[in-house]
A and B are shown apart, each in its own frame.
Chain A
Amino acid sequence: MMDLTVDFKGVSKRYAHFNLDNINLELPTGSIMGFIGANGAGKSTTIRILMGLVHQDAGTVKVLGHAMPAEQAAAKMDIGFVSEDMRLYAAATLHWHMNFVSSMFPKWDQAYADKLIRRFDLKPQQKIKGLSHGQRVKAALLLALARKPRLLVLDEPTTGLDPVARREVLGELMAVLADEDRTILFSSHNTQDVEQISDQITFIDRGKIIDSDNKEAFLDQWRRLRLVLPQNSEVPRLPGVIDVGGSGRLPVLTTNRFDPGMLTVCQDLGATVQAVDSMTLEEIFVSSVQHRRETVAV
């Protein structure tokens, strides 16, 4: 039994105007990782290295036990990859693509493919060039899912989908996870999708991983405290505070190391804790990125 489906150790890649710097990434088998970053943060470069499409300058990458890029041919038999810039043959039909893919991958599941055609509301006889953006994404997903790969790597799978299609796609991704030997890595800037279905979450910004943890830990450790201070007193010093907003006697503290003992500390200092807000993943991501950029910028 292999514990990690994806394992990056100290991976770097230098370009003229962009560096991917010392990336460490561990994705346990049987889980979903959401990979979140702004445009140009390094998500796609990381995914290309994972797929062996780009060779790292330093560090080791293991995918499904195979060293990348050296053993990419063996690894790719068991990886399904869907990206936005994926090119299907415009003049061919979805049906033709299904035949083509099934001839190359012995694990192709035709019954599952037929089910996905109905779920995703696709027409096999339609040519790719006549499909909308959303239909193309769903067609590419179908071709990857029906191969039953052990690892699915999806670059922005829900971007440009309408709400109904998005729901179907998220549902199918979760259905994959019903099998504990299968694993998904997906990048997105839709934090709501990531928050809903991910087990592991990784934030990337400017070529560096700024945080990576399981989702429950993320949501548990970040809190916004709204305080009412007595006159002429200072804001209490609490662990993990990365931002102090609000005004004079009504400060709003954002911490990434919340524990309930903090509330007692505040009260002992004479402050009233007016509210303890949990934060959405989007708020957490934005706070992390801003904090990191402020502390790194000179």
Chain B
Amino acid sequence: MHSDLVISQTDGRPMYLQIMEQIKLRVSVGEWAAGQEIPSIRQLAVSLRVSVITVKRAYLELEREGVIITQHGKGSIVAPDAGLGPRLHEEELTEHLERAARLGEVLGLSKEELAFRLEEASGRMVDDRQPKEME
């Protein structure tokens, strides 16, 4: 089975995280639909040329997060939970905010300064969109 997942050798993150991220993305955009059967651990390992243990770990973590369900002897399916897309974006947002908070600390920014920077950033996004909407 061809999986279309791409693992990067230069991406600094562990391979299991890359696999998790790509599967979550497929699920959140609906390419892998709720309840749909997904490749078995060995199938995905063979097609990605990545060790079985790495894919197994990605599947275990995805199961813990409720993204997929693995049935013994039957393979894995995407969890039939409809709210998955928004929830995954929610998690991603939390992760980015925490990273921003950490960088703010390294730079010695106060909480107010950090909040102001976030406000600025979302302001820029609105500005970027404005001209298109007026056309």
A interface residues, Cβ below 8 angstroms from B:
30-32, 167, 170-171, 174-175, 177-178, 180, 192, 196-200, 214-216, 219-220, 272, 274, 277-278
Does B50 reach chain A (CB closer than 8 Å)?
Answer: yes
The reply on B52 being an interface residue by CB < 8 A is yes
B130 at the interface (CB under 8 A from A): no
Chain A nearest Cβ from B131, distance in angstroms: 39
Q: How many whole Å from B16's CB to the nearest CB in chain A?
A: 7
| Docked-complex contact A196 and B53, CB < 8 angstroms | no
Within 8 A of A (CB), among B28-70: 42-43, 45-46, 49-54, 57
Q: Which residues of B contact A177 (CB under 8 A)?
A: 42, 45-46, 52
Given A215-B54, A216-B57 in contact, is the A278-B49 Cβ separation under 8 Å? no
Q: How many residues of B contact A (CB 8 A)?
A: 19
CB distance from B74 to the nearest CB of A (A): 16
CB within 8 Å for A175 and B54 given contacts A216-B16, A278-B12: no
| Cross-chain contact A31 with B53 (CB below 8 angstroms) | yes
Residues of A near B14 (CB, < 8 A) are 219-220, 278
B9 contacts the other chain (Cβ, under 8 Å)? yes
A197: B residues at CB distance < 8 A: 49-51
State the CA gap A183–B1 with chains docked (Å).
Answer: 21
Produce 1/0 per residue, B72-86, CB < 8 A to A: 000000000000000
B106 on the interface (CB 8 Å rule)? yes
Structural contact, A199 and B52, CB atoms closer than 8 A: yes
Residues of B within 8 A of A (CB): 9, 12-16, 42-43, 45-46, 49-54, 57, 105-106
Contacts A30-B52, A32-B52, A220-B14 supplied; 19 other A-B pairs, CB < 8 Å = A31-B52, A31-B53, A32-B51, A174-B49, A174-B50, A177-B45, A178-B42, A180-B42, A192-B9, A197-B49, A197-B51, A198-B51, A199-B53, A215-B53, A216-B16, A216-B57, A219-B14, A274-B106, A278-B12
* Inter-chain contacts of A214 with B (CB < 8 A): 53
Q: How far is the CA of A216 from the CA of B49 in the complex (A)?
A: 16
- The residues of A that contact B54 with a CB separation of less than 8 Å are 215-216
Complex Cα distance, B14 from A249, in Å, reads 29
**Closest CB-CB distance, A140 to chain B, in whole Å?**
21
A175, closest chain B residue (CB): B46
User: Smallest CB-CB separation from B13: which chain A residue?
Assistant: A278
What is the CA–CA distance of A104 and B42 in the complex, to the nearest angstrom? 31
7 closest A-B pairs (Cβ-Cβ)?
A199-B53, A174-B46, A178-B46, A199-B51, A174-B49, A216-B57, A197-B51
Q: Give, as a whole number of angstroms, the nearest-CB distance from B121 to chain A.
A: 23
**In the complex, A88 Cα to B16 Cα: how many Å?**
40
Give Cα A171 to B49, complex, Å: 6
Q: Which residue of B lies closest to A216 (CB)?
A: B57
Contact partners of B50 in chain A: CB under 8 A: 174, 196-197
A215, B106: Cβ atoms under 8 Å? no
Assembled-state Cα–Cα distance A32/B56 (Å): 14
When C-beta atoms are compared, the residue in chain B nearest to A278 turns out to be: B14
